[in-house]
Amino acid sequence: MQTINLKINGLAVTAQKGDTILQAAQRNGIKIPTLCYLKELNEIGACRVCVVEVKGARSLVASCVYPAEEGMEVVTNSKRVLLSRKKTVELIFSEHEKKCLSCSRSQKCELQALSVELGCEEGKYEGAVNTYPLDLTTPYLVRDNNKCVLCRRCVAACKSYQGVAVIGANARGFDTHVGTSFNKDLKDVPCVGCGQCITVCPTGALREREEIDDVITALNDPTKYVVMATAPAVRVAIGEEFGFPIGTNQEGKMVAAMKMLGAKKIFDIDFSADLTILEEGTEFINRVKNNGVLPMFTSCSPAWIKFVEHYYPEFIPNLSSCKSPQQMFGAVIKTWYAEKNGIDPKNIVMVSVMPCVAKKFEKTRDFQSAAGVPDIDHVITTRELARLITRQGILFSDLTDAEFDNPLGEDTGAGVIFGVTGGVMEAALRTVREVLENKDYGNDRINFTEVRGLDGIKEATYDIAGIEVKVAVASGLANARALLDAIKAGKVFYHFVEIMSCPGGCINGGGQPIKTAHIRNNVNFRDLRAKALYDADEAMTLRKSHQNPVVKQLYAEYFGSPNSHKAHDVLHTKYAPRPKF
């Protein structure tokens, strides 16, 4: 890579040719504050917080878009620059709803942090302010334009990450605001509910529909049997909310904290990830043997399912009919577990802890009531669990590790890796190969590394029982769109395709701890969380879903065999086209 030489704040530094001033500064340990900028996603120079002085330039320039050049002299911290940044943030505050004490992003808000950093005066510029009603029309998301700073990071995520683009900048000038086409409610546009807009928002303008109070009410109701269960990706992210390094597996403290909340049982949705593999793997084998619809698509990600229903309804027959692990878990709790323990399913309150906001929508879908009552009652995100733990006065960092309750706390390494892109595919391949070849490989040759990694699209071909099985994995719905278009055009063929709606998979879900722009631009937090899951898998004795002893017990006592009639009634679902509006 060709390098260039320049001066920043009087220091001679080296940067790469093609760098912006911002990138050149970051390479040399110099921080320039930003607000709208996100590397490779939103590089538009709109907010003017990152301005710097360049010798010879008449005006201050936005460092996130201004190219660094050989011999350039840049000043990032002159009085002129600092006053400009301060005024910019104060002007943004003049149109911002300043209810910081009650905001869910208080102390984690990038605008708030910038104000403190720059020494801003909150009410310096007062005047006319636009007010907007809250959009509370979906079960998963709150849109509050009163806190929007028009950075357009959410717009970029919706378009670039997900290829959905249901939000954009409406109107002009003082009336500019982020909204949907014709300012429709979010429920009236083909939003898939992934929550990636929340994760990139620097303020509290976008947040999940909180269910913490509902959970507290259930926990305090002596007539209710509350069960809480967590998804794989939650354990490698929850610690970040309490100051632990990114990617630290805090399963033990997480379980200990949840037990202190007062639920009857704390279980692990990794169990139903294993169950999903038995059902989905069997469905795949049956499709291959019986000339069924191929490729078969995974069905674990609810935003992906909604994406297909809205944008590619012709591929609905390709979707696995399996419920997601969340919904399977709730269904098993309210059927087999309820019968086994003599509990009326109407008295069970099933609370799932998810890295995903689309799960809040999923629990409301049709065909999700195996026992005649909803499979899942409440869904809280990783962030909500952290707030619930804090609200209940539990000192997370001081806790002694605890273990999940039995029997539905049993899992395998295959269930654990469901939380990262490629994990569902690898888990399925581990089981499908042994079933078709009628051979136990032990823990040798069970790592299907070709489907690992954070690339948007991955492909591989495997010889399984003499069949050349072609598979593909995609994460991020923009990548899913590209893959579907290629399949539709006949350019590629696969037998089995895994899609996760969020880039990198559930480790980067819309309900995970929010990372500031500085961290997103400089730290590969997705990789750190993924590594923690793979490390957990490697440390386990049982690493294949069909080895899970409680899954075996469940089939022996209740379902008979995977894909049985009873299994279909409880563990499978249906889909239907949705309008594009």
**Structural domains in the chain plus CATH codes:** 3-77 (3.10.20.740), 124-208 (3.30.70.20), 213-571 (3.40.50.1780)
Classify residue 194 as exposed, middle or buried by CB count within 10 Å of its CB (0-12, 13-18, 19+): buried
At 233, list the tokens.
């990706």
Rg from Cα positions in the chain: 25
CB 520 within 8 A of CB 526: no
**pTM for this predicted structure:** 0.96
- Would you state the pLDDT for residue 573? 98
Q: Which of 351, 105, 113, 98 is nearest to 207 (CA)?
A: 105
- Would you state the pLDDT for residue 581? 77
Beta-bridge partners for 471: 460, 496
Q: One-letter amino acid identity for 201?
A: C
| Cα 250 from Cα 529, distance rounded (Å) | 11
- Would you state the pLDDT for residue 122? 84
Can you point out the beta strands (E) in 501-576?
A: none
- Would you state the pLDDT for residue 126? 86
| Cα 124 from Cα 171, distance rounded (Å) | 26
pLDDT tens for the 581 residues of the chain, in order = 899 999 999 999 999 999 999 999 999 999 999 999 999 999 999 999 999 999 999 999 999 999 999 999 999 999 999 999 999 999 999 999 999 999 999 999 999 999 999 999 988 898 889 999 999 999 999 999 999 999 999 999 999 999 999 999 999 999 999 999 999 999 999 999 999 999 999 999 999 999 999 999 999 999 999 999 999 999 999 999 999 999 999 999 999 999 999 999 999 999 999 999 999 999 999 999 999 999 999 999 999 999 999 999 999 999 999 999 999 999 999 999 999 999 999 999 999 999 999 999 999 999 999 999 999 999 999 999 999 999 999 999 999 999 999 999 999 999 999 999 999 999 999 999 999 999 999 888 899 999 999 999 999 999 999 999 999 999 999 999 999 999 999 999 999 999 999 999 999 999 999 999 999 999 999 999 999 999 999 999 999 999 999 999 999 999 999 999 999 999 999 999 999 87
| Cα 51 from Cα 62, distance rounded (Å) | 4
| Cα 239 from Cα 523, distance rounded (Å) | 17
CB 448 within 8 A of CB 384: no
> What distance separates the 2 farthest-apart alpha carbons in the chain?
80
Report helix, strand or coil for 9: coil
- Would you state the pLDDT for residue 518? 94
| Cα 427 from Cα 304, distance rounded (Å) | 19
At 202, list the tokens.
């620097």
At 340, list the tokens.
């086994």
Q: One-letter amino acid identity for 444?
A: D
| Cα 432 from Cα 412, distance rounded (Å) | 15
Classify residue 406 as exposed, middle or buried by CB count within 10 Å of its CB (0-12, 13-18, 19+): exposed
- Would you state the pLDDT for residue 502? 98
CB 553 within 8 A of CB 435: no
Q: One-letter amino acid identity for 251?
A: E
| Cα 128 from Cα 313, distance rounded (Å) | 46
CA distances from 187 to 142, 183, 313, 579 (A): 11, 11, 19, 11
**Would you say the C-alpha torsion 88, 91, 97, 99 has a positive or negative sign?**
positive
CB 542 within 8 A of CB 425: no
DSSP 8-state assignment for residue 432: H
